[in-house]
Amino acid sequence: MSRHGFRGEILSVPRDPLRHDDAIRHLADGLLVVEGGRVCAIGPYATLAPRFAGLTIEPLAGLIVPGFVDTHVHYPQLGAIAAHGGQLLEWLERHIFPAEAAFADPDHAARMARLFCDALLRHGTTSALVFATVHPGSVEALFREALARDMRLIAGKVLMDLGPDGLRDGAESGLAESAALIARWRGRGRLGYAVTPRFALTSSPDQLTGAGALLARHPDILLHTHIAENRAEIDAVAAAFPQDRDYLAVYERFGLVGPRSVFAHGVHLAPDAMARLAAAGSGIAFCPSSNLFLGSGLFDLAAADAAGVRVGLGSDIGAGTSLSMLATCGEAYKIGQLRGDTLDPFRALYLATAGGAALLGLEDRIGGLRPGQDADFVQLDPAATPLLALRTAGRPLAERLFALHVLGDDRAVAATFLAGRRAATRETGAFR
């Protein structure tokens, strides 16, 4: 197997800085050695290079970080980003359901899947947990594009037998379609499947029961849904499920709350629900730009941390306002400011990389640039714009990183590497 080296400034945060003093790995002049798509070695150039005589070494300017992990994003909503007016339930009806209905057309799904994968890579996102639509073809289209690029995507057909006209499956047919997708795509490339009920309001008890059974039957798949995002949504769930003590209890009753469950938002979870999530080993995708855009509320990261709930970051396009996980870190910081809880830039990078990987059960595979992990990484350009250049020149690492969060986006991603191969550059876009 051929080896290839990359030399540059390398930063990774493989463990949570909140819980580990030595979490930050910084190499001012580092060497990353890749073999067979995996990290073979990583360390200071001066000590590592002599161990790899004859190695082809490519210098990379800027800052090398692990590929970003977006733990909650809706690919069919890419064209509905920045839709004006209305909080969650109204926004879904007005903007999102019509956009998703268009995915009944396989050609549209194929076009949007291509655009989405290209866009993820241009933003430095190499792994993601993705909502498709109710149409099985929307998952097929996404998996085809991700497989062709060797991206690590986890996705699922949306279960919504109580959805609006034109965007509904049957309780049974939706589950059968999910099972068929699992059988067809499991184990191909770096793809994964998530059972994906939209939220408690759009699935019947029969469908939620079946979702729980499907999850129990397949120990390698995830559960991906929304929870406690918006006050009106929570009131509607309480009215629809009067026998359950809170929103989480609905999912608990149907066997949907476990160590492979990822819940988007959790903005309005009471301490008791946070504690139950932690005890179950479930995690939350914190989606700051979405929560601000829809006026949903301010996620309490400190409460999740105190309870011991695993957290990753999500762009939540189309409610989110940027696919960039750099920008998402910046938005998470602003929510922290409004809560009196200052988010450290290294912790933010952890949440956007190894923390997200852990949320998806992929901590051994991605997120930390550790030997043996997939060599998915990003070359950031701290001087991508005149303002970034002004703010980062000669500054300490923490300041440069924070400036990238607040001022950066896809413009600051010079190149994205998948399994050690250049998969996109700022100049050329993504390669197919």
- Cα–Cα distance for residue pair 54/49, rounded to 1 Å: 9
Show the beta-strand stretches assigned E in 137-289: 152-156, 158-159, 192-197, 222-227, 261-265, 283-286
Min. distance of Cβ 286 from ligand XAN in angstroms?
12
- Cα–Cα distance for residue pair 258/95, rounded to 1 Å: 32
Nearest alpha-carbon partner for 293 in 129, 119, 86, 80: 86
Amino acid at 223: L
Q: Which stretch binds ligand XAN (CB under 6 A): 25-33, 88-96, 132-140, 332-340?
A: 88-96
Is residue 268 part of the contact set for ligand XAN (CB under 6 A)?
no
Is residue 316 part of the contact set for ligand XAN (CB under 6 A)?
yes
Min. distance of Cβ 348 from ligand XAN in angstroms?
21
Is residue 198 part of the contact set for ligand XAN (CB under 6 A)?
yes
Min. distance of Cβ 328 from ligand XAN in angstroms?
14
Residue 347 binds which of Zn ion, ligand XAN, none (CB < 5-8 A, kind-dependent): none
Is residue 290 part of the contact set for ligand XAN (CB under 6 A)?
yes
Is residue 229 part of the contact set for Zn ion (CB under 5 A)?
no
Site for Zn ion in 312-341 (CB under 5 A): 316
Give whichever of 318 and 420 is closer to ligand XAN, judged by the CB atom: 318
User: Cβ distance 40 to 64 under 8 Å?
Assistant: no
Show the beta-strand stretches assigned E in 177-258: 192-197, 222-227
Question: Which residue do the tokens 């006026």 mark?
Answer: 295
Candidate residues 27, 33, 73, 96; the one interacting with ligand XAN per rule CB under 6 A:
96
Give whichever of 226 and 370 is closer to Zn ion, judged by the CB atom: 226
Is residue 128 part of the contact set for ligand XAN (CB under 6 A)?
no
For the record, the structure tokens of 298 come out as 């301010």
- Write phi, then psi, for 406 (nearest 5 degrees): -85, -35
Alpha helices in 294-396 (DSSP H): 301-307, 325-339, 345-352, 354-359, 386-392
Give whichever of 169 and 316 is closer to Zn ion, judged by the CB atom: 316
Number of Cβ within 10 Å of residue 259's Cβ equals 12
Binding characters for Zn ion, 246-265, by CB under 5 A (x = yes): ------------------x-
Binding site for Zn ion (CB under 5 A): 264, 316
Binding site for ligand XAN (CB under 6 A): 74, 88, 92, 96, 198-199, 226, 229, 290, 316, 319
